[in-house]
Structure 1
Amino acid sequence: MRQDARENRERILAAAEDVFGTRGAAGSTEEVAQRAGVGIATVFRHFPTKDALIESALLRHYERLGERARALADHPDPAEAWRALVRALIETGATKLTLAATLSDRTQTPAAAMRAAKHLKTAVGDFLHRAQAAGAVRESVTIDEVYLLIRALAQACATAPTPPDTRDRAITIVLDGLALP
């Protein structure tokens, strides 16, 4: 793929994540094209259907979170890396939930997205174990409990506009609750 085509694709995916991740089904491919600075034909040249575009935006979302996890993996402070990763998951969770819910005619999440989600959950589990070994998180906490809390806050933010400072305080409360006293 030519460099300009790769750049167009990336701009389209970023715009789609923003448009469909905030507006859901009310978002349009025309709005994506406009935000990406390309014509609608360019959008459909890369993504033949709206669902293909949304699915690719969801996969991009997981890829970016995976990149964030890899960047934090070498952080010298396991507690700080843990807090940063959980914060990123919650802060972007509403976008992920909205993208997944926007896929039309789907009774289940696409297989590629399921694999990406599983890989990410494994990485988050590794961060959890590392933070627990460092004494930063209660030993009794499981990855399933962490994911339930992440989903709960993400769902709340997806369904009701939440001021960033309120969301940030809620994340801090969750993280403090998981930490050793």
Structure 2
Amino acid sequence: MTDRTGIAGTAAAETDPSTSVSGRPLRADARRNRARVLRAARDLFAADGLSVPLDEIARHAGVGAGTVHRHFPTKEALFAAVVVDQVEQLVADATTYATNADSREALLAMLARMLAEGIESRPLKAALAGTDFDIRTAAPDVAARLRETLHALLQRAQRDRAVRGDIDVDDLFALLAGAFATLRHADAEGAPDRFARLNAVLFDGLRAPR
């Protein structure tokens, strides 16, 4: 797929948050600053994508521009780190959904969460839809965990004959990408209603044939 941001090949996305760019362990205050930068970047990237200046992210985080650069040498590296952080949270949430005795509800809850989070966050939407940002290249381990997690939820529901058996995990990602594309053209006022309709159509389409 075409990479229009220069992010796809970066290795910064999988940098251990407890270490510096050079690989040395971070002090506690440095770890706190890194977390503040990530939170600020997540909020600003969610609305404006890569157009946000690093200086604005630093101001929003309450740190100096030099602090941002020490942790994330480029804006692309910071963008990638934000995506990885959000995807890792999705994987963690899936563990909770997997405890639901109703396998269909567990799968649908995960899909609804991915759709909702992707709509709120441009970086995450780019990763989940496979547009502009290829998480499989930037952070293959994280991408694999998300895929395996969703695959496990799907297989469990299929074993229970709770959802149709002729779909695979790639179909689920394609459905999400299509939903994101549709919602991108919805105005702010109509987006909630369209989101609800897409959820209903998606979930009805996954239902096992009677």
Verify same fold: TM over 0.5. yes
Residue identity matched to 2:37: I
Shift in Å, 1:58: 1.6
The whole-number CA distance in structure 2 between the counterparts of 1:19 and 1:76 is: 37
Shift in Å, 1:86: 0.5
The aligned counterpart of 1:32 is 57
Contact preservation (8 Å) 1:21, 1:98: no
Structure 1 segment 39-118 matched on structure 2, within 5 A: 39-94=64-119, 95=122, 96-98=124-126, 111-118=137-144
Residue identity matched to 2:148: T
Unaligned 5+ residue runs, structure 2?
1-25
The whole-number CA distance in structure 2 between the counterparts of 1:123 and 1:70 is: 8
TM-score by length of 2: 0.73
The whole-number CA distance in structure 2 between the counterparts of 1:31 and 1:169 is: 36
| 1:42-81 per-position Cα deviation (integer Å, ceiling 9, x unaligned) | 2112111111111111211221111111222222221221
The aligned counterpart of 1:145 is 171
Contact preservation (8 Å) 1:16, 1:54: yes
Contact preservation (8 Å) 2:90, 2:146: yes
| 1:9-56 per-position Cα deviation (integer Å, ceiling 9, x unaligned) | 122112222322331232222232233232222211211111111111
Contact preservation (8 Å) 1:54, 1:102: no
Contact preservation (8 Å) 1:58, 1:113: no
- Name the structure with the higher helix share: 1
Of the candidates 132, 148, 157, which is equivalent to residue 131 of structure 1? 157
Contact preservation (8 Å) 2:135, 2:143: no
The whole-number CA distance in structure 2 between the counterparts of 1:109 and 1:67 is: 17
Contact preservation (8 Å) 1:78, 1:127: yes
- Matched residue pairs, number? 177
The aligned counterpart of 2:206 is 178
Q: Which moved more, 1:51-60 or 1:90-99?
A: 90-99
Q: In the superposition, relative to structure 1, how do residues 109 and 142 fare at CA in structure 2: closer, same or farther (>3 Å)?
A: closer
The whole-number CA distance in structure 2 between the counterparts of 1:132 and 1:45 is: 47
Task: Find out whether 1:119 has 2:145 as its counterpart.
Answer: yes
The percent of aligned pairs where both chains have the same amino acid is: 33
The whole-number CA distance in structure 2 between the counterparts of 1:27 and 1:61 is: 18
Of the candidates 192, 202, 208, which is equivalent to residue 164 of structure 1? 192
Q: In the superposition, relative to structure 1, how do residues 158 and 38 fare at CA in structure 2: closer, same or farther (>3 Å)?
A: farther
The whole-number CA distance in structure 1 between the counterparts of 2:180 and 2:64 is: 33
Q: Which moved more, 1:32-41 or 1:45-54?
A: 32-41
The whole-number CA distance in structure 2 between the counterparts of 1:11 and 1:165 is: 34
